[in-house]
Amino acid sequence: MLITAQSQIQNLVTELQQHNYNYYVLAMPQISDYDFDQKLKQLEQLEKENPTLILPNSPTQKVGGELTKTFENFEHQWPMLSLGNTYNEQDLIDFDQRIKKAIGDDFEYVCELKFDGLSMSLTYQNGNLLRAVTRGDGTKGDIVTANVKTIRNIPLQINGNNIPQNFDIRGEVFMHKAAFEKLNQDKIENGETPYANPRNFASGTIKMQDSAEVAKRPLDCFLYFLYSDNNPFKTHWESLSAVKSWGFKVCEHNRLCQNMNQVLEFIKYWETQRFNLSYDIDGIVLKVNNYQQQQELGFTAKSPRWAISYKYKAQEVETVLQKVTYQVGRTGAVTPVANLKPVLLAGTTVKRATLHNANEIYRLDLYQGDTVLVEKGGEIIPKIISVNRDKRLPNAQKIIYPTHCPECSTQLVRTEGEVAFYCPNDEACPPQIVAKMQHFIGRKAMNIDGLGAETIETLYQKGYLKHISDIYTLKNHEDELKKIERFGEKSITNMLAGIENSKAMPFEKVLFGLGIRYVGETVARKLVTYFKTIENLQAASIEQLTQADEIGDRIAQSIIEYFLEPNHTQQIAALKQCGLQFESNQQQKVLASNKLTGQNFILSGTFEKYSREQLKEMIEANGGKILGSISAKLTYLVAGDNMGPAKLEKANKLKIPLISEVDLLRFLA
C-alpha cells in the first residue's frame, strides 16, 4: 500500500509540475483550472494520509505555513550590483562608444524590460531550490526562501539539459496591475490606507513573517540572469533560452540587437507600449551578450561595465481640477475623486485622479479650478502630486471635505485611528445598498449565476430590490421582469435558477456575503468553524468572539455593532425563511483524545521530528487549540530552533511556560 501511495504521489507531483510549466512559462495550459485543482486536492489528500512521503518539490508546498520572526542574512556569492542608468540617448551612444573602444565592433546587445519590482537571487543545487535571498545592500541580503517558495511560477525543482550542479539565477518579483488595483480597492472599502504602488506591495509581501499569508497574494516573477562557476553557455541569449526550457519564467519581450540603432528603436517602441503591459516597467536594460566579452569589460566598484539601464522619465502633466466628487462604497467609506480637464498621460486620456481621503485634500490645499500636476509613474491610478499656486484663480473657493453623505445627507462619522469618513446609513443609502447586493452575489460569496452587477443596479432602480433578501423574491415577479428592456426569457430563467441554486451555498459563504465590516473570507470561515450557527454568533459577547481563532477586538466590535442593528437581524430572519444556510455543515472532528482540551498553544521556530503543520494537527486532534498571537490566553509556547526573540520576550513577560517538541510529545504519549 505504501509503495502504491508513493508511486501515486510521485506521478502527481511530476504531472502537476509539467502543468505549472505549461501555464506559467509557456503560457499554454493543457488542462482547465478546475482539473488542475482536482489533481492538487488528490495530491494533498495522499500527502495528508502519508506525511512521510511528502516530496520537497511538491506543488502543495507552495501554500506556505512557515513563520519567520527575523530574516537571516546571507552573503551573495556573486554580488547583486546596481546598474548605471541614464535618461537620455546620448549617454547610451557614449556607452556604446566605450564598449567599442574596449572590445571592438563585433558584439551584440540583449535588450530587456526593466521591471519595477523586487530583485531576488535564487540558488539551486542539484536541480532543487536551495535558497532565496533579497538584494539587500548588494553584498548581503535576507533569506526569504519560505516566502518565495509560495510564488507559483518559481519551480522548486527543475529538469533539462546542461543544468549546472550549483547556480544562482537572478530575477524580479512583482505584482500585476489588475491584482494590485483589486487589493487596493478592498483596503479603501475597509477604511485602510491603500498601498502606494505594486513594487512597495511586492516588497512588503516578501518580508511578511507568515508564508501562508504570502501564498494568498498573487505575486509573479521573471528570471533574467544566470550565474555559475561552470556556466555551459557562451552568451547571455543562449542562457535565457536554456533557463526557460528548465522551467523558469523568462520575459517574452527580450530582444537580441546587433547595434545601437536597434537598441534605440527598442527603447522608443516600449516608451509607449509599456502602458499596455499588465505589469509596470520603468525602463530598459541592455547587456553585452557574450560572456567572454563581459569578463573582458569587467566591473567598476558599483556596477558592471557591460550593462546599463535606460530609465523612462516619470509621467507627469499639468491640467485643471474641474471639481471634486465623492464615491460611497459598500462599507459606507466616502472617497474623494478629482475630476480633471481631460489630458493625455502615459498613453491614455486621464479624466479622474484619486484623492484617497480628507487628509489628502487638506495636504494638497486644493481650491476649485486649481492647475494641478498629475502623475502616473509607479502609480496605477493617476494621482495629483502638487498644485501650481501661481495659476490659482482669484476668488477661487477652497475645497472642503463634506460633513454629510453626498448621496443620502446622513452625517458622516470617523472612527478614531482611521483615515476614512463613513456614512452610517447603510440600510437607506442607495450606493451602499446596491454595492452590498453586488457583493452578496459575487463569486467569492453566493456566486449567483445569471445575476450580475448591472442587473442588480437596474432591478434596484426599478424598485424590485431594496434589500439582499429581495433577491429571493424575484421569482414572484417573473412576468413583470420580462417587460424590462434587455431582459429576455432565457436570461430570466437562468437568473432565477442561479438564485435558487445559491441556497445550497455553505454558511461561511452566506456570512461573508452579508458584508459585515472586517469579516472577509478567512474571518467568516474562522467564525463558522468556532460558533457553528448564526444564533451562537449573534449571542456572542466580545470576550467570546475574541476566543475564536484570529478574531481581534476590532473585528469583534464590528460584529457586535452589526447585530445590534434591527434591520440586519430582520434581513437574516428573512434569508433564513428563504432557505439559506445559517448553520455549519462542517463535520465534527473526532478527537484522538481529550488530553489537551482547554489548553492553548503557539508553535514557534523549526522542529526536528515533525513539521510545524504536523505538530499543529497533533495538538488539535487531542483537543488543544492553536492561537494566532501571544496573549494571556496562551497555555504553552512550543519553542523550536531559531525562535524569534520578540516572541520569547513577550512570552516571558506574560510568564507563559515554554516547552520543547519533546515535552509536547510527552504530553501526548
pLDDT band at 196 (very low <50, low <70, confident <90, very high): low
635-647 per-residue burial string, b: 16 or more CB within 10 A, e: under 16? bbbbbbeebeeeb
Q: What is the pLDDT of residue 197?
A: 73
Which residues form the catalytic set?
Answer: 114
Domain count, the chain: 6
Whether 160 and 284 share a structural domain: yes
Q: What is the pLDDT of residue 417?
A: 72
Q: What is the pLDDT of residue 138?
A: 83
Whether 8 and 127 share a structural domain: no
Q: What is the pLDDT of residue 420?
A: 85
Lowest mean pLDDT among 80-89, 377-386, 518-527, 617-626: 377-386
Domain boundary among 286, 311, 336: 311
| Tens digits of residue pLDDT in 331-367 | 899 999 999 999 877 666 888 888 888 888 999 999 9
Tell me whether residue 183 is exposed, middle or buried, using C-beta atoms within 10 angstroms of its C-beta: 0 to 12, 13 to 18, 19 or more.
Answer: middle
Domain boundary among 10, 35, 63: 63
Q: Please check whether residue 182 lies inside any domain of the structure.
A: yes
Question: Which domain, by its residues, includes 629?
Answer: 600-668
Q: What is the pLDDT of residue 549?
A: 73
- What percentage of the chain has pLDDT greater than the value 90? 48
pLDDT band at 634 (very low <50, low <70, confident <90, very high): confident
Whether 185 and 106 share a structural domain: yes
How, if at all, do strands 625-626 and 73-75 pair? unpaired
Whether 179 and 301 share a structural domain: yes
The winner for highest mean pLDDT among 100-109, 174-183, 375-384, 484-493 is: 100-109
Q: Check which CATH number belongs to the domain holding 349 and give it.
A: 2.40.50.140
- The H or E element that residue 282 is part of is strand 281-288
Whether 175 and 306 share a structural domain: yes
Q: Please check whether residue 275 lies inside any domain of the structure.
A: yes
Q: What is the pLDDT of residue 33?
A: 60
| Tens digits of residue pLDDT in 284-316 | 999 999 999 999 999 876 789 999 999 887 778
| Residue-averaged pLDDT of the chain | 87
Whole-angstrom Cα distance, residue 192 to residue 254? 38
pLDDT band at 385 (very low <50, low <70, confident <90, very high): confident
Residue 191: pLDDT over 60: no
Q: Please check whether residue 345 lies inside any domain of the structure.
A: yes
Bridge partners of residue 133, in order along the sequence: 121, 143
Q: Check which CATH number belongs to the domain holding 35 and give it.
A: 1.10.287.610
Q: Check which CATH number belongs to the domain holding 305 and give it.
A: 3.30.470.30
Whether 224 and 85 share a structural domain: yes
pLDDT band at 326 (very low <50, low <70, confident <90, very high): very high
| Tens digits of residue pLDDT in 651-667 | 888 888 999 888 898 88
Tell me what the mean pLDDT of segment 196-221 comes to: 81
Whole-angstrom Cα distance, residue 114 to residue 254? 10
Tell me what the mean pLDDT of segment 614-638 comes to: 84
Q: What is the pLDDT of residue 66?
A: 53
Whether 189 and 338 share a structural domain: no
| Tens digits of residue pLDDT in 159-179 | 899 999 999 999 999 988 888
Residue 555: pLDDT over 60: yes
Q: What is the pLDDT of residue 2?
A: 47
Domain boundary among 311, 345, 361: 311
Q: At what angle do helices 453-461 and 430-440 cross, to 10 degrees?
A: 140
Cα maximum dimension of the chain: 86
* Local structure of residue 276 (DSSP, 8 states): G
Residue 27: pLDDT over 60: no
Residue 1: pLDDT over 50: no
- The H or E element that residue 265 is part of is helix 260-273
Q: Please check whether residue 404 lies inside any domain of the structure.
A: no
Q: What is the pLDDT of residue 67?
A: 47
**DSSP assignment string, 312-359:** PPP-EEEEEEEEEEEEE-TT-BEEEEEEEEEEEETTEEEEEEE--SHH
Whether 86 and 183 share a structural domain: yes
Q: What values do phi and psi take at 540, rounded to 5? A: -70, 140
Note whether 25 and 8 are within 8 A (CB): no
Whole-angstrom Cα distance, residue 46 to residue 326? 53
236-245 per-residue burial string, b: 16 or more CB within 10 A, e: under 16? bbbbbebbbb
Q: What values do phi and psi take at 655, rounded to 5? A: 60, 40
Residue 378: pLDDT over 80: no
Whether 25 and 163 share a structural domain: no
Q: Please check whether residue 413 lies inside any domain of the structure.
A: no
**Three-class DSSP labels, 607-649:** CCCCCHHHHHHHHHHCCCEECCCCCCCCCEEEECECCCHHHHH
Residues 6 or more apart from 94 whose CB is under 8 A from it? none
Tell me what the mean pLDDT of segment 52-71 comes to: 66
Whether 291 and 180 share a structural domain: yes
| Tens digits of residue pLDDT in 93-107 | 999 999 999 999 999
Q: Check which CATH number belongs to the domain holding 469 and give it.
A: 1.10.150.20
Q: Please check whether residue 415 lies inside any domain of the structure.
A: no
Q: What is the pLDDT of residue 188?
A: 64
Q: Please check whether residue 100 lies inside any domain of the structure.
A: yes
Among 529, 503, 525, which Cα is nearest to 512's?
525
Whether 17 and 46 share a structural domain: yes
Q: Please check whether residue 423 lies inside any domain of the structure.
A: no
Q: Give the position of cell 506521478.
A: 11
pLDDT band at 62 (very low <50, low <70, confident <90, very high): low
Q: What is the pLDDT of residue 614?
A: 81
Whether 185 and 77 share a structural domain: yes
Residue 563: pLDDT over 90: yes
